[in-house]
Structure 1
Amino acid sequence: MSDLPSAAEMEEIAGAAAPPSPDVTLCECFPEDGLRGAAAAVPTDAKIALIADLVACGLRSVAATAFEPPDASPAFADAEILLRGLARPPGIAIRAGCADPLAVRRALVAQDGGWGPEELALAVPQDEDWTGFEAMVALARGRFLLTGIVEARFDRADENASGAVVQAAERLATLGVTRIAIADGAGAATPPRVRDLIGWLNGALPTATFIARFTDHRGLAMANSLAAVEAGITALDCALGGAGGLCATEDLAAALVAMGHGTGLDLAALCRSGEAAEAMLGRRLDSRVLRGGAIPA
């Protein structure tokens, strides 16, 4: 009698090891972007509980914290304590932001301790000096999943704006960073320009994974995010209630489902997490779904 598992048992094991991949993956950024400007300190235990709830909603990627100096970013003074306290179900990537080589070294110490993040987000410099960025990549390469965040200057009308994004993406690829988030910090993107830029990027780097990261300063984050998905993007950064200026997770998830895209998310549970985020910040957030309910099927 063989001790090897049967085909049916192997299928069950594989199914239990990690959730199935959704059509569109949302990375929840509330614990980082949403709490960055919080008026009061949020207890670490409350953050840990919220992240556990987010994972239970079906989110596979969570930007949990950032390695930044405590005096400059008090919201992340507990980064190591938070990471130690997080449960790590299979198939879940916990992301942390890193702004300099010292931050990457902190992430390495955490990883060596067995409680580090699986993914690091590294902001690409907007000037020509890539020295610090290349040092971060050299430290982290082979140890973490790396995502480079490129700021796309949609607020510039000249044709060189898209070319600069493509050039930055190509330089990332030469460094071995092929997960590339396209950010619109000014909220100046429009759906046509988003589709055009993604077309250029897919043509230049067909094997890279691109992530859309749009802010809602001009009310176009949802339209731009959906345009990105229509152009082939399958990963999006967002935040509960639109905290931190990003596209609201609840609204984006509801819209994607209404359009027939699988997200792997429990929308009702996600909305409960949105309510918890509002309580955590002590103010009402901008999710339309929280106010008006999900889009009828």
Structure 2
Amino acid sequence: MTMQLPKHVTIIEVGPRDGLQNEKSIIPTDAKIDFIKKLKMAGLQEMELTSFVSPKWVPQMKDAKEIILSFEDGTRNLVLTPNRKGIERLYETNCKAVAVFVGVSDRFNKKNINKTTSESMEELKPLIQELKEKGYFVRACISTSFYCPFEGKVDEEAVLKLCSTFVQYGVDELSVADTIGRANPKEVFSLFSILKKELSTTMLTAHFHDTRGMALANVLAALQAGIDRFDTSAGGLGGCPFAPGATGNVATEDVVYMLEEMGISTGINLSKLVEAIDVINPHLTRPIESKFYRLAKAK
């Protein structure tokens, strides 16, 4: 009996946005741009570059417009926009791919953007319709899809309902996240099997954090459920300022190494990926702990 695995997996790099937003020191814009350039040279074709959020709340993203204007290269460059104000700033650039976000958990959503989940969805509906009319690629990021740091276990039906609503609104992609890194492979396989069955025409992406060391196992479980798109962060950078205890995203290099060793192509050059991490590493406040990177630097 053989495992049911895809021949190719698409990696969406979230390091420049999700990875860096939680860094305590402000990273120079030039270093961010160089980091992104090196990531693209490694073969990453889809990437979260930055976000149009309030610099008061996320000062790391205050150079968002400058970052975006540095990359008009034909690849899918995503920008996270939480509200109308962020989308108006997006319209001032040539970027044509946008990410919106909402938490399944009300308490998480209130902590994050001071709205309940239903209030966020009411606000997002006309914005998504407007973006689609203007020809934008729209990605919806679904936070706390498995567990919430404030409410505990999240019901699968609640996740399916929220995802289904986004599909009705017309989004192109759903990024379903284990925001605090508490999900186990059984839960991952169950939820993604349901989503794959019920939302078969929508692009589904899995987003894992490695808080409890289960991210790679959860990638494998999602693969078994038919998922072939994954958010990852070079160097395992990341966390969430509004999710206490959440550590970094699963490391791009660890996921790519595992997939390539399994015979699944990603189109990503690991040695060039290490070079990209080398660019950003001197600016970080915490050590990079990904397995592949540490082994590569130990040679």
The verdict on a shared fold, with TM-score over 0.5 as the criterion, is yes
- Are 1:26 and 1:238, in contact at CA under 8 Å, matched by a contact in 2? yes
1:191 and 2:185 correspond:
yes
String of CA shifts for 1:192-240, please: whole Å, max 9, x gaps: 1111111111111111110000111111111111211222111111111
Residue correspondence of structure 1 range 138-217 to structure 2 within 5 A: 138-142=129-133, 143-155=135-147, 161-217=155-211
**Match 1:26 to one of 8, 11, 32:** 11
Which amino acid in structure 2 is aligned with residue 225 of structure 1? V
- Structure 1 distance, partners of 2:55, 2:153, is 40
1:247 aligns with 2:250: yes
Retained in 2: the 8 A contact 1:240–1:277? no
Say if 2:88 is the partner of 1:105.
Answer: yes
Greater C-alpha Rg? 1
Secondary structure at 2:170's aligned position in 1? coil
Unaligned runs of 5+ in 1: 1-21
Aligned mate of 1:287, from 286, 290, 294: 290
Report the CA distance shift for 1:87/1:109 in structure 2 as closer, same or farther (over 3 A).
Answer: closer
- Over 3 Å counting, the alpha-carbon distance change for 1:94 and 1:276 in structure 2 is same
Q: In the alignment, is the contact (CA less than 8 A) between 1:52 and 1:87 conserved in 2? A: no
Contact 1:104-1:139 within 8 A present in 2 as well: no
| Alignment equivalent of 2:102, drawn from 120, 124, 127 | 124
TM-score of the aligned structures, taking structure 1 as reference length: 0.84
| Counterpart amino acid of residue 96 in structure 1 | V
Report deviation, 1:128.
2.2
What does residue 80 of structure 1 align with?
65
Distance 1:155 1:86 in 2: 35
1:33-52 maps to which residues of 2 (within 5 A)? 33-52=18-37
1:112-139 residue CA offsets vs partner (Å, 9 max, x unmatched): xxxx2x3211112542222212132133
Please tell me whether the aligned partners of residues 221 and 247 of structure 1 are also in contact (alpha carbons under 8 angstroms): yes
Identity rate, percent: 28
Is this contact kept in 1: 2:140–2:174, CA < 8 A?
Answer: yes
Q: How many residues align?
A: 266
SS in 2 for 1:110: coil
1:152/1:162 contact within 8 Å kept = no
- The secondary structure found in structure 1 opposite 2:213 is coil
Correspondence 1:134 to 2:125: yes
Amino acid at match of 1:204: E
Following superposition, the deviation at residue 277 of structure 1 comes to 2.5
Gap change, CA 1:170 and 1:290, over 3 Å in 2: same
Instruction: Report if the CA contact (8 A) 2:147-2:153 is conserved.
Output: no
Q: Please, which runs of 5 or more residues in structure 2 have no aligned partner?
A: 1-6, 105-116, 239-247
In the alignment, the residues of structure 1 paired with residue 136 and residue 25 of structure 2 have an alpha-carbon distance, to the nearest angstrom, of 31
C-alpha displacement of 1:48: 1.1
C-alpha distance in 1, partners of 2:12/2:46?
5
CA shift at 1:64, angstroms? 0.6
- Tell me: higher relative CO, structure 1 or 2? Use CA pairs within 8 A at least 6 residues apart: 2
Alpha-carbon shift at residue 80 of structure 1 (Å)? 0.8
What displacement does 1:248 show?
0.5
Which residue matches 2:76?
93
Change in 2 beyond 3 A, CA 1:231/1:219? same
1:223 is matched with 217
**For 2:262 and 2:66, how far apart are their aligned partners in 1?**
40
Contact 1:155–1:188 (8 Å) recurs in 2: yes
**1:10 corresponding residue in structure 2:** none
Contact preservation (8 Å) 1:24, 1:234: yes
Deviation at 1:49, TM superposition (A): 1.2
CA distance in 2, matches of 1:53, 1:110: 22
Comparing 185-194 with 58-67, greater Cα deviation is found at 185-194
**Quick one: distance in 2 between partners of 1:125 and 1:192?**
22
